[in-house]
Structure 1
Amino acid sequence: MSILDAYTPDTTFQSFRNVYLVFDWMDQRDLRHFHIFKWNEICDYQRGAPLVADINLQLFSAIAYLHQDKLRLIHRDIKPDNILIKQIDNFKYLVKLGDLGHARKIPPFEGQPMTENITTCYYRAPEVLQK
């Protein structure tokens, strides 16, 4: 996600409390809403499979970007509401992975503990739920 602008309504350092970040407007909202409102497009035999493949490729690319050596981040809250979509052309969409509020650096040492039960319950892996 690119930050387009940042501002604060606070006028002095002593009153400084909030920073507001401005991002791209993602006109298709998120994957959950996209799935509902673009159902016919997704189910279309000719366009649906390439569309789903492209969305997945962009999502996996975002995850790979977070995991690369220079960042080493784990998102920890991937769910349809955090996959943002913007329409570029008739059947072309831009996908961005949002809400990095729970993201953490990958621990430098194997076995180093991280906070458990961060992700939204319904999107946790089965092995996490069994603990």
Structure 2
Amino acid sequence: MTAGGVTRLQELAQKCELMIQRCLNCTTLLAPLMATCSSCQGSELERVPSCGIGSIVSSKVVHREATGIDRGLVPCTIAIVELDEGPWVYTWIDGEVPAPSDCPVRVEFRPASTAEQLPVFSVRAARQR
């Protein structure tokens, strides 16, 4: 957590830009929360913007407690998305995931409702990439 109780993921989402990391030693692009480079084990990383587009590698429907007036469990899709730049990120998927699940997705930004917010991606038609 950072000062004021805001997490690093929330800071990135507030900028309405998905930030990933690049290793300063070997230029490998990495997921947002990596502490060291998976290629060279370097620890000097810089944040760089992602295009926010990728494809679903894996997904699963889970049931989460609803907020607001309608209490109870609601189905949500959690997924691993491979960004077009290469890194994989954990994310929520907005909407139904059609089969095959490797369909294109684009990141969207929404206000945080939990302490640790994952980015939210929406399924896009292939021509919208």
TM, length-normalised to structure 1: 0.25
Larger radius of gyration: 1
* Higher share of residues assigned strand: 2
Structure (1/2) with the larger helix percentage: 1
TM-score normalized with structure 2 length: 0.25
